[in-house]
Amino acid sequence: MLHREGTKTIFVSLLILAVPYVLLTQLGAADWAVSAYLVLALVLLGLVLQFFRNPTRTTVAEAGDVIAPADGTVVVIEEAEEPEYFQGKRKQISIFMSPLNVHVNRAPVSGRTVFAKYHKGKYLVAWHPKSSTENERTTLVFETLNHGEVMIRQIAGAVARRIAVYVKPGQPVSVGEDVGFIRFGSRVDIFLPLDAEVLCKIGDKPSGGETVIARLQSN
């Protein structure tokens, strides 16, 4: 299954890849040259298609479970100051998404969206320490029924140029639900209460919508 964010990009890619093929055939290029280009075009198209893939995920979560909001590699686990919404220290888990990862962003918990804000910014590499506060980004906060609030921050990377968000304040979400998408390499930060139990470690490769990365305490 392909994600809706890829519709325009895939169509444009097909048009761009078709032009050299038409030129080669119209100009009477050698068969080997046409064949070589077709192989190259198929590889490039395959890379575009794999980037926008949207595999079906089965989310199984108990009360208090925090599910990974994205595929990728855990690169940060630390206590960090969160000045935008919480204005205090939180536990932060950061997941780096390479261009080869699935780039769908999913709700880490069930609850209600209480905050959503987009910020223009730079395009530092996604693992840069300042990318969380200086890059183009979107902040989403979800309020759970009995386990407090959880924030995710979608951060554009060096080549990402579009962050899509599908929820707004007041909108309910279900854990594992598709809430956004980031194109071409990026990062997602998760901010949890200080008493949350972290269940992942640096270097882990969680599956978005499936892997339990932390557990929240009841209010």
Which residues are catalytically annotated? 186
Instruction: Give the type of residue at 219.
Output: N
In angstroms and rounded to an integer, the radius of gyration of the C-alpha atoms of the chain is 20
Q: How far is CA 5 from the centre of its chain?
A: 12
Q: Closest Cα to residue 102, out of 138, 45, 53? A: 53
Integer angstrom CA distances of residue 217 from 66, 149, 177: 11, 11, 22
How many Å from the N-terminal Cα to the C-terminal Cα in the chain? 39
Q: Which residues sit opposite 178 in a β-bridge?
A: 106
- In angstroms, rounded to a whole number, what is the distance separating the alpha carbons of residues 79 and 91? 5
